[in-house]
Amino acid sequence: MKRPNVLFVMTDQQRFDTIAALGNEHVYTPNLDRLVARGVSFTDAYSTCPVCVPARYTVRSGREPLATGIFSNGQWRSPEDPATMESRCGPFLARTMRERGYRTFGVGKFHTSPTYQDLGYEVHQHSEELYGRGDRGRDAYASFIAREHPEYAWLEMLQGERTEMYYVPQMSPLPAELTVESWAADRACEQLAPDDGRPFFGFVSFIGPHPPCAPPQPFNRMYDPDRMPDPVRGSPEVDTADEYVNWMNYAIWADDISDSRARMLKARYYGEISYIDSCLGRILDAVEARPDAENTLICFFSDHGDHLGDHDAWQKESFFEGACHVPFLLSWPARLPAGGRRDELVCLTDLFGIATGAGGQAEARDGIDVLGLLEGSVSPRENLFGYYGVPGTPRFKIMVRSGDWKYTCLANGGRELLFNVAEDPAETAELFSARADVADRMRAAAVGALRAPGGEGALDGDALRVFPFEAMPRRRIHQFAGDLGVKGFPDRPGDLFEER
């Protein structure tokens, strides 16, 4: 068989439970449902460092945070380490596929540091969320708006207002045909049309449904908030065990969101998902229009989820299911069965092996060979580990998924949580004390995983290193159009007019 095309489609901050065909009766996702019917859905897939930058580096490197050295946004390895990520982890995925004879293209948000880092794509068209000085001229989407639709170039925020408006229901300032999601779908379809004799490896990365929750018309009024379910909560001491959740809620003005506003936000969040679903439909149509559609492997996933008010939390960066459990769909009609469901533990790191395996020889790196797993030649993993925060610091936390169980240890205060996610998917019944036998086994597995290079700092001999609990100092995050000289709120309201 001729080597297949490989197309990765990633959303940003999409929860695992947002696909109608996989059980969500509240959301409309005909094209995601189409992908579910076209292939195999993994129902226990995880982002092993559930925040934008680290998660994306696990995808492009095939290495876990212990190897990449990136455990949170804005945190990098120390200067004594090798200078580049690729020198530590091996060539990035796009470069690897290009070296194997694939035509490569990347479209959308890539969230690298530096922002326009070379990732190995022959064609690389960016649409990043925020712009530094001069970046609008380098960003393909911002340049498109300025060039083709200057009537919208005055907008400070092309995807909706951020800062204190991050979790306030909004509507896109742009019409549906001009949003960044529509632009990404258009560019992807352009790249799917050519055929130069080589198979393609494409990566399409949508910005949504990441906040702000601002779908365009008419998707902004697609869902009635009164029909949305309320957030789920456990006991306050469990829901607030991770101090970082409290810190983040305050940082993004989400520390006092009512249930009614949470339902409004979920309605707009679902509107974003249905809108992206419609954009995905155009991409799927472009794939199906090719003569080699049956021999095209499509992988759909998200970099992480969003709490959406569950456990009184917003954003991500915890190991509650809403934040770290992600959608993970594979379809390849020429080789994989249609409409399948699998419950083996998989994660974003496995995508490297999926692409390279489809390309002829799996290079799984820190992941597993998922295609081999589907064929029965590779055993499933027994444990899956998640990491956040630099090992050996109070911010560090580790998660272990094994069978029906999930264990988390938070270095700040040494708090430990245990849930049976099969019996209690909402994680409202904490069982650490009741099932000490399971907790001991999973803690030992965590210690074993941290004996690898990069993890030793999180250990204290044969135990996990913990620290006396400390509340993190509260601060607000401001995200204004710095590239346009907007620095924040004025000290006095009248100062705004003097500045202008």
Note whether 48 and 294 are within 8 A (CB). no
The pLDDT assigned to 82 comes to: 58
Between CA 14 and CA 47 the distance in angstroms is: 11
Task: Please state, as a whole number, how many other Cβ atoms lie within 10 Å of the Cβ of residue 227.
Answer: 10
Mean pLDDT of 305-325: 98
Note whether 138 and 194 are within 8 A (CB). no
Quickly state the pLDDT bin for 74 (edges 50, 70, 90): confident
Which token pair is 299?
A: 């992988």
Between CA 5 and CA 216 the distance in angstroms is: 32
The pLDDT assigned to 81 comes to: 61
Mean pLDDT of 481-498: 90
Note whether 189 and 283 are within 8 A (CB). yes
Mean pLDDT of 178-190: 98
The pLDDT assigned to 113 comes to: 79
pLDDT tens string 267-307: 999 999 999 999 999 999 999 999 999 999 999 999 999 99
% of the chain surpassing 70 pLDDT: 98
